[in-house]
Amino acid sequence: MATLDSLKQALKQKAEKTARQPLSDAQYSVGFDILMQGSTTYQDFIVPQLSQVISPLFNSRTHVSVLEIGPGPKSILGHLPSHMRRKIKEYAAFEPNILFATTLEEWLCFPEKTKSPLPSLQSAPEIRRVPFTVDGHTGPNADADMSDR
């Protein structure tokens, strides 16, 4: 019969092995969906705080270019007040999760421009499907991804 200590040891070993394995894009997406279900954190806290912080920048410019790091399946910018969203003329993002990047691109490139969350984009959004790194090296696909520049 197993003792409590041997069960703890087995559980720790299993957890250590599992913790080292990164989540797949699909697993991460499912986890994100579970965390967001019923959550009003974005609407109640994050959007109002972001609006307040960036308001001076948006008020002092006629248009804004945005680089977003890891926006997920929808950019938080799409939830800003409409007068702010209309000032965003260029949008680029680094989103390494392929599922999120595809969903984000579809959401931003709504067929009817008036229904797009960022209706004043002057060109198609640039979504880089690689992780962002400070030193500029984004991994094995960096050269291929940068070749169109």
38-75 pLDDT, tens digit each: 888 888 999 999 999 999 999 999 999 999 999 999 99
Residue 82 lies in a domain: yes
Task: Please tell me the total count of domains within the chain.
Answer: 1
Label residue 72 left, alpha or beta by phi (over 0 means left) and psi (-120 to 50 means alpha). Answer: left
Report which of 46, 56, 126, 115 is spatially closest to residue 89, judged by C-alpha positions.
126
Q: What is the pTM (predicted TM-score) of this model? A: 0.73
Residue 111 lies in a domain: yes
Residue 35 lies in a domain: no
Q: How far apart are CA 106 and CA 76, in angstroms?
A: 15
For residue 90, the surrounding DSSP H or E stretch is strand 88-94
Domain that holds residue 95: 62-133
- Neighbour count for residue 139 (Cβ, 10 Å): 11
Q: What is the mean pLDDT of residues 12-34?
A: 84
Residue 10 lies in a domain: no
At residue 26, the pLDDT reads 93
For the stretch 73-98, pLDDT in tens is 999 999 999 999 999 999 999 999 99
At residue 13, the pLDDT reads 82
pLDDT at 120 over 90: yes
Residue 19 lies in a domain: no
Label residue 26 left, alpha or beta by phi (over 0 means left) and psi (-120 to 50 means alpha). Answer: alpha
Report which of 116, 22, 118 is spatially closest to residue 68, judged by C-alpha positions.
118
Residue 37 lies in a domain: no
Residue 107 lies in a domain: yes
Residue 39 lies in a domain: no
